[in-house]
Structure 1
Amino acid sequence: MNDQKIGQVKGKESFFEDLFRNNQEIMLLIDIDTLEIKDCNHSACLFYGKTHSEMITFKITHFNCLSKDQIKKEAELAKNRERNQFYFKHRCRKGEIRDVEVRSSPVSLDGTDYLLSIVTDISGLQLDSDALRKENMMLEKVVAERTYALKELNEQLIAAQAELKREMLFIEALFESIPGYLYVYDEAGKLIKWNKKHEEMTGYSADELAHMTLDQWFEGDDLVKVMAAVEEVFSKGYGEVDANLITKSGKKLLIRSNGVVMTLDGKKYFTGVGIDITESKRLESELKKESKLLETTLVSVGDGVISCDKNGHVLFINRVAEELTGWQKKEALGKPIETVFSIINDSNREKAGNIVAEVIKTKEIRELDNHTLLIAKDGIERTIEDSAAPIIDANGDVLGVVLVFRDYTEKKQKLDQIEYLSYHDQLTGLYNRRFYEEELSRMDTPRNLPFSLIMGDVNGLKLVNDSFGHVMGDELLKKAAKTIVKACRADDVVARLGGDEFVVLLPKTDQLEAEEIINRIEELAKAEKVGTVELSISFGFETKFNEEEDIQRIFKRAEDYMYRRKLTESLGMRNKTVGMMIETLFDKYQKEMFHSERVGKLSAEIGNKIGFNSKDSHDLQTAGLMHDIGKIGIAEGILDKIEKLNETDWDEIRRHPEIGYRILSSANEFAEIAEHILEHHEHWDGGGYPKGLKGEEISLEARIIAIADAYDAMTRMRLHRNDLTAEEAIEEISRCSGTQFDPEIARVFIEMIENEK
């Protein structure tokens, strides 16, 4: 090569060397195989913060923050003599990470292949791109907030606008595919474009529509609304209006129109889609009526109703719910449900679980636990029963919850009362037989040994019932119940088995302790009386010591022991009671005492006259003494009544023979004379009471007492008339002989009285 050519080559090399070294672009010379940096320019040293001598000691991968595969791919393209362009993140001076664009070309120097890479810092451009992306996202969000129909329309209109800008042509297929009728008006309000649905809906032909203006479709208030909407569209860019459009036939269609402004070649057009909503509005109106009816129903129902959204905030509350919770509707709306519907457990006073959250979670109807109390705003507590149901949409998603609840207080009280009565004796308030049997089974366990049972039976209850009526008998039972409970311990179970029988269950109680409890009851009973009747209870007891023993056998032994004691205690008590009754009668009515004594004496004298021995005469005198004992059961105020007795009073008095019979027949000591007491008001001719016996069907003793009683009553006991003289009384007895009185006894009695004069 001659010197001239050599000089030219060297000149070119110097030129390219200067171009490489001093270029403002960041330039790197990279070994394709090893990826080592073989050379770089000054701009590269400044960008990466390294000296030239440092740079040629690194591979390009040292500065790259992304995958090495991209760099290898870049090298492969270079080997194939292909230019390429990649984007990387490079670590530059002071460790700063920058976004770079790398454009590489393959070069050969001295028989070796290199990659000449030009690096451009595009970080600032990336920031601009991010800002643009954010702006686009905001615009998308605004568009997304529009209705579906408007969004679809805008997308189609934007596409149509773009086509107009390019070709000034409308795509007819797009127009015809739009649901509803499409329109395009110019700024003068002239209709310049429409679709087939526009023609079908309005009834106008294409030629007719070509001469139509916007104001021809509406009238009155509808025209005012439409024109205002058009102005809004031109000011905002979009708008919506509902108005009645008049068709060619004169029919009015309720149209919902969504309009936008479109600009083409510097001109503005009002374009949009109208949809016939006549039917949907009718359905909407009906739906509103149904909704109003439903709301009215919910407001009017007798239960409290509260609905809330899926976040637990109150959406609706009816009148009953307002009354029960104490929250007015305007106060409650939007409040958390647990604030308005505050509930606790009645048993432990702890806050109840969140039933709304449970329903939302399970999507199932739930009911409140028993013993739930609603705490009203004013602090009033009410027992309620409640159910909560999910409100679920067509997709199965829970929109909220509706609570339906009612005041359960009165019903609970009744149920509690029923439950109480099912386990308690209504008369005494003690546990009943049902509870006793369940409790006996529950308590019959080894941990309660020794386990004692006490059986108790009230003495003389039948006597009191027969003599004074069941009211006094009930009082005697109630006295007995209170006395037993008072003597027992807190853990002891006292029950009335029925009638006059009581039982006491004594867990962890031996025989000695059981006897002590019986002694306490008997000591307390000594101070108790019902009227003139002393409280007397016969007791028996037994103790279970071993688990193997049958508790029913223990009960039977306690019961047998009680009956053995009752045989002696009850007999003495009845005899004592009879004596107390006669004493009480005589203490209360002294005239009755004197009368009875005289009747007894007269009866004995008559008995002696007709041949009674001394024992029979004594019994007859006792019967005469007690012939009116039944008057102890006569209602207060009748025996000493000053005014004349009425028929009701006499009906009450006529009961005394039967009462006396029941009193005396209950006591062995007086059982023999009870029949005489029952019959002493029977008449010889059958006209007496209570059985209507006649003649010798009446016992001899009763016939004797009848005459003695009548004589003394006529001469000493007349309340409302003057007493008769002895002669007058004898005359009356003589007159009634053979009708009221036994004629033979009457004869003997008259002779006896006359001989005593």
Structure 2
Amino acid sequence: MSKLDDHRTGQIKKNDAFFEELFRNNTEIMLLIDPESLKIEDCNISACEFYGKSHDKMITSKITHFNCLSEEQLKKEITRAKNKERKQFYFKQLRANGEICDVEVRTSPVALEGRNYLLSIVTDISGLQLDSDLLRQENTLLEKRVAERIDDLNELNNQLIVAKAELEREMVFINALFESIPGYLYVYDETGKLIKWNKKHEEMTGYSAEELAHMTLDQWFEGEDLIRVMAAVEAVYKTGYGEVDANLITKGGGKLLIRSNGVLMNLDGKRYFTGVGIDITESKRLESALEQESKLLETTLISVGDGVISCDRNGQILFINRVAEELTGWTKNEALGKPFEDVFNIVNDTNHEKAGNIVADVITTKSIRELDNQTLLIASDGSERPIEDSAAPIIDEGGEVLGVVVVFRDYTEKKQKLEQIQFLSYHDQLTGLYNRRFYEEELRRMDTLRNLPLSLIMGDVNGLKLVNDSFGHVMGDELLKKAAAVISKSCRADDVVARLGGDEFVVLLPKTDQVVAEEIIARIEKLASKEKVGTMELSISFGFETKYDKDEDIQQVFKKAEDYMYRRKLTESLGMRNKTVGMVIETLFDKYQKEMLHSERVSKLSAELGSKIGLNIKDSHDLKTAGLMHDIGKIGIADGILDKSEKLNDEDWAEIRRHPEIGYRILSSANEFAEIADHILESHERWDGCGYPKGLKGEEISLEARIIAIADAYDAMTKMRFHMESLTVEEAIEEINRCSGTQFDPEIARVFIDIIKNED
């Protein structure tokens, strides 16, 4: 700023002081009014005395508080004054003591700091008798003086506005410089008080400008950080410069790692410590992370499960990890500096010829290369192992190859797994026979003229589903494995035996006519008749067909063999199922003697009750059989539950409640027992619909099932209670009577109770 500007600014300040004194202490009552809001923006001492209010009260009031005109009328008068239509106004105003007085108001518009106001001079004219000519002269003189002063004030105000604008432009430039600094700016005086900062300082520390104004240097740091910072400050005051990294405490207790470069500044004979702080938290974190990553990478390369060897552009080994040492037989000390080919000795798996130099290929092509899967690594001790590997170039920013990294691993286990996967892709996992995929490929391959006559044998294991339902899938799987072994043993070396899925098998017999095919089937059946799984006999239904004509569709041949097998299965399977049911009930009774005695008693009670309510001989016989087999499904209950000595838990009961459905599946598969299967399924339903497994209600439940339910419950209460004392006959009758109409059919319950009482 020039000396002329300094002089001008000084003159403005002097004039401002003069007019301030003139306004404040003038004996005239003076008000500065906002013409828009009617608010009193300022007033002098005379005005405060006249209206009886303090200056603070006055500047929070509107002129309407004192003037007796309405706000609308007063606004009209204000507009006239603002437009200079009139200079003198006469109003009635309210004084502090409550009196209404007549006042003369002389008003002139003024502009201060870019805003428009009305300067009003108020004179109390209550009771005054003035000479009008003299009054007009005085008014004219006063108006002239005020107008002159107002013009002077407006001129000074304009000069002040110009000076202020110039100063603001300079401050904008300075602030822009401050805010463009990539860190937080600080200026401390010699007492350590923060006296200047930028917005970045507020953003980084979280403190507001008001809070920063009270901060001192020692509040930002603690412990070792504070010691280092104060040492840096001392260095600044001694040498003019200091630098330090420290943890700055932000608002709320957080910390920022900052790097501060401080310098000494002298101004008006005073010294200041100033500088810029940069947040290096992230850069330090990245630096630390990079160091950690470097260590981690080195550790990883050393301990990774793959072998790693790196070499320079000349193929000389620079690094070898532990796994590479084990696979090559070379130690790190032995391998470093050696040519790559000496350490990494590889040959072709099929002909043992020396493989190419993969490192040289990578350096030449500047691209990643992989060995084929037929590569053997020969260790220093002569041992061989299949490996797989890849080699990648190390390229600098200019695109030049600095070296090569080779990563390789022992392929032995993977190779075995691939061979196993390949085996499984063509073999059935359970039986070890070929699977459907292999069979279909072989059928297409064999379907040629040189293999004619071509015979197909189809086989289906009888009773597999029944065995699964009765004894579980483990026994069913054993049955299938026995069947596969018998079929394979009976066939020739060139025959293809496959499991198509489930219980179906197929045999492809190249150059085999119908006679030989029948002989092979007979051989299989003879071996099968001697095989058992537990007490279960092995039974397989066979069908076959032979292709003699090369134009015959092989799929039609397969269809004929399958149809023949199904025709035989219709007769062979029925007998097998009936025998299996008998074997199931026999197995159950052998395993659980109490279940046999219980079933026999329920059978007898059910038949007796059926006769009593009028069932014919056949129905009574079926009912007796159903009573005997009502718990056949318990053969499928997990071992240890039926004869469990301690109290059954919820899981045990859930398992036991499965037995009606298991029994239904077993019996419904055999024609001889299919009619009674529904009675078994419903034997644990309740008259009120709260039973299981279907929740049937009332007469929705078969009559036979309702009869069995009462007989079963009675015998269980009097003979089969495992975890509590059995009931007496009287107590059991009382219990059946109590449950009549809820658990039991009330009419059947009544008849049953009569039977039991008559027996006594």
TM range (shorter): 0.5 to 0.7
CA deviation profile, 1:322-368 (whole Å, cap 9, x unmatched)? 2321122443468776664344555x5x3144322996799667643
User: Over aligned residue pairs, what C-alpha RMSD do you find?
Assistant: 3.7
Q: How does 1:78-477 map to 2 (within 5 A)?
A: 303-304=306-307, 315=317, 318-319=320-321, 320-332=323-335, 340-346=343-349, 348=350, 350-356=351-357, 367-378=370-381, 380-387=383-390, 404-477=407-480
Query: In the alignment, which residue of structure 2 is the partner of 1:479?
Result: 482
Distance 1:389 1:585, change over 3 A: closer
Amino acid at match of 2:753: I
2:708, 2:336 → 1: CA distance? 90
Distance 1:662 1:508, change over 3 A: same
Query: In the alignment, which residue of structure 1 is the partner of 2:630?
Result: 627
1:675, 1:498 → 2: CA distance? 31
2:596, 2:741 → 1: CA distance? 29
1:362, 1:484 → 2: CA distance? 60
Query: In the alignment, which residue of structure 1 is the partner of 2:703?
Result: 700
Does 2:627 match 1:607? no
* Native 8 Å contact 1:314 1:332 kept in 2: no
1:336, 1:440 → 2: CA distance? 55
Question: How far did residue 668 of structure 1 move?
Answer: 0.8
CA deviation profile, 1:611-638 (whole Å, cap 9, x unmatched)? 1111111111111111111111111122
1:445, 1:362 → 2: CA distance? 53
Distance 1:662 1:298, change over 3 A: closer
Question: How far did residue 398 of structure 1 move?
Answer: 12
Gapped runs of 5+ residues in structure 1?
1-291
For 2:690, what is the secondary structure of its paired residue?
A: coil
Q: Compare 620-629 and 525-534 and name the one that shifted more.
A: 525-534
2:724, 2:363 → 1: CA distance? 91
Distance 1:389 1:740, change over 3 A: closer
* Native 8 Å contact 2:633 2:662 kept in 1: yes
1:592, 1:479 → 2: CA distance? 31
* Native 8 Å contact 2:347 2:355 kept in 1: no
2:661, 2:358 → 1: CA distance? 73
Query: In the alignment, which residue of structure 2 is the partner of 1:35?
Result: none
Question: How far did residue 693 of structure 1 move?
Answer: 0.9
Amino acid at match of 1:412: K
User: Normalized against structure 1, the TM-score is what?
Assistant: 0.55
Amino acid at match of 2:759: E
1:361, 1:753 → 2: CA distance? 97
2:459, 2:732 → 1: CA distance? 53
Distance 1:721 1:314, change over 3 A: same
Query: In the alignment, which residue of structure 2 is the partner of 1:742?
Result: 745
For 1:502, what is the secondary structure of its paired residue?
A: strand
Does 2:757 match 1:754? yes
Amino acid at match of 1:538: S
Question: How far did residue 734 of structure 1 move?
Answer: 1.6
1:335, 1:308 → 2: CA distance? 9
| Residue among 685, 688, 693 paired with 1:690 | 693
User: Normalized against structure 2, the TM-score is what?
Assistant: 0.55
CA deviation profile, 1:209-263 (whole Å, cap 9, x unmatched)? xxxxxxxxxxxxxxxxxxxxxxxxxxxxxxxxxxxxxxxxxxxxxxxxxxxxxxx
2:439, 2:298 → 1: CA distance? 53
Query: In the alignment, which residue of structure 1 is the partner of 2:587?
Result: 584
Distance 1:574 1:339, change over 3 A: farther
| Residue among 536, 540, 554 paired with 1:537 | 540
Query: In the alignment, which residue of structure 2 is the partner of 1:655?
Result: 658
* Native 8 Å contact 1:683 1:741 kept in 2: yes
2:551, 2:504 → 1: CA distance? 27
Query: In the alignment, which residue of structure 2 is the partner of 1:645?
Result: 648
Distance 1:560 1:402, change over 3 A: same
Question: How far did residue 298 of structure 1 move?
Answer: 11
The structure whose Rg is larger is 1
* Native 8 Å contact 1:603 1:705 kept in 2: yes
Q: Compare 543-552 and 633-642 and name the one that shifted more.
A: 543-552
1:550, 1:380 → 2: CA distance? 54
* Native 8 Å contact 1:682 1:693 kept in 2: yes
Q: Compare 724-733 and 453-462 and name the one that shifted more.
A: 724-733
| Residue among 713, 716, 719 paired with 2:716 | 713
Does 2:576 match 1:557? no
Question: How far did residue 552 of structure 1 move?
Answer: 1.4
Distance 1:331 1:443, change over 3 A: farther
1:638, 1:357 → 2: CA distance? 66
Query: In the alignment, which residue of structure 2 is the partner of 1:489?
Result: 492
* Native 8 Å contact 1:356 1:401 kept in 2: no
1:457, 1:693 → 2: CA distance? 38
Amino acid at match of 1:578: V
* Native 8 Å contact 1:298 1:305 kept in 2: no
* Native 8 Å contact 1:596 1:627 kept in 2: yes
For 2:357, what is the secondary structure of its paired residue?
A: helix
Gapped runs of 5+ residues in structure 2?
1-293
Amino acid at match of 1:614: I
1:733, 1:505 → 2: CA distance? 64
Q: Compare 419-428 and 568-577 and name the one that shifted more.
A: 419-428
Does 2:517 match 1:508? no
* Native 8 Å contact 2:317 2:340 kept in 1: no
Distance 1:342 1:571, change over 3 A: farther
For 1:405, what is the secondary structure of its paired residue?
A: strand
Amino acid at match of 2:678: E
User: What is the aligned residue count?
Assistant: 463
For 2:546, what is the secondary structure of its paired residue?
A: strand
Query: In the alignment, which residue of structure 2 is the partner of 1:499?
Result: 502
* Native 8 Å contact 1:310 1:360 kept in 2: no
Distance 1:380 1:539, change over 3 A: farther
Question: How far did residue 658 of structure 1 move?
Answer: 0.7
Question: How far did residue 431 of structure 1 move?
Answer: 2.5
* Native 8 Å contact 1:359 1:401 kept in 2: no
* Native 8 Å contact 1:355 1:368 kept in 2: no
* Native 8 Å contact 1:360 1:401 kept in 2: no
Does 2:680 match 1:677? yes
Query: In the alignment, which residue of structure 1 is the partner of 2:727?
Result: 724
For 1:621, what is the secondary structure of its paired residue?
A: helix
Amino acid at match of 1:675: D
* Native 8 Å contact 2:460 2:565 kept in 1: yes
CA deviation profile, 1:378-416 (whole Å, cap 9, x unmatched)? 4554331235689999xx999999755333334434444
1:499, 1:569 → 2: CA distance? 18
* Native 8 Å contact 1:310 1:399 kept in 2: yes
1:537, 1:428 → 2: CA distance? 16
Amino acid at match of 1:425: D
